[in-house]
């Protein structure tokens, strides 16, 4: 399956589709660009999900996240777009994506998006 970004999100069959369990990913090297200044933004992207029939393949997730490096996006937009693309790829029971962005201009930003919406 392909996400909306240039990096293709691949999935595989959940080995335990009848069991409710949780998968957590922490991606501490996420970067994108500030759409106003072009300066790099650095973040840790946290992903927590309960798979249904499909799981996200890790190498494709890494390449997908790397595809943001040269793209300008506000923190709120990028966090929500990652959630949308991951949900479209694997249709989880539930998922949460958190963007924990480093301090810029004296402000530390954390954006959390949920599926289904809480």
Catalytic site residue 85?
no
Above 70 in pLDDT, residue 100?
A: yes
User: Which residues 6+ apart lie within 8 Å of 38 measured at CB?
Assistant: 72
Q: In sequence order, what DSSP letters do the residues of 76-114 get, joined into one string?
A: HHHHHHHHHHHHHHH--SEEEEEEEEEEETTEEEEEEEE
Q: Which residue in 27, 32, 41, 85 is the catalytic one?
A: 41
Catalytic site residue 100?
no
Report pLDDT digits (tens) over 40-94.
999 999 999 999 999 999 999 999 999 999 999 999 999 999 999 999 999 999 9
Other CB atoms within 10 Å distance of the CB of residue 1: 15
Q: Which residue in 27, 32, 34, 85 is the catalytic one?
A: 34
Q: In sequence order, what are the beta bridge partners of 109? A: 101
């Amino acid at each position: 399956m392909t996400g909306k970004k240039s990096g293709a999100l691949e999935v595989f069959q959940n080995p335990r589709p009848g069991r409710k369990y949780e998968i957590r990913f922490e991606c501490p090297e996420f970067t994108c660009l500030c759409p106003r200044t072009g300066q790099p933004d650095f973040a840790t992207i946290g992903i927590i999900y309960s798979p249904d029939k499909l799981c996200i393949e890790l190498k494709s997730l890494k390449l997908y996240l790397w595809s943001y490096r040269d793209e300008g996006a506000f923190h709120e937009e990028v966090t929500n777009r990652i959630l949308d693309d991951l949900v479209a790829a694997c249709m989880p029971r539930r998922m949460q994506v958190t963007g924990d962005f480093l301090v810029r201009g004296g402000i530390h930003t954390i954006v959390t998006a949920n599926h289904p919406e809480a």
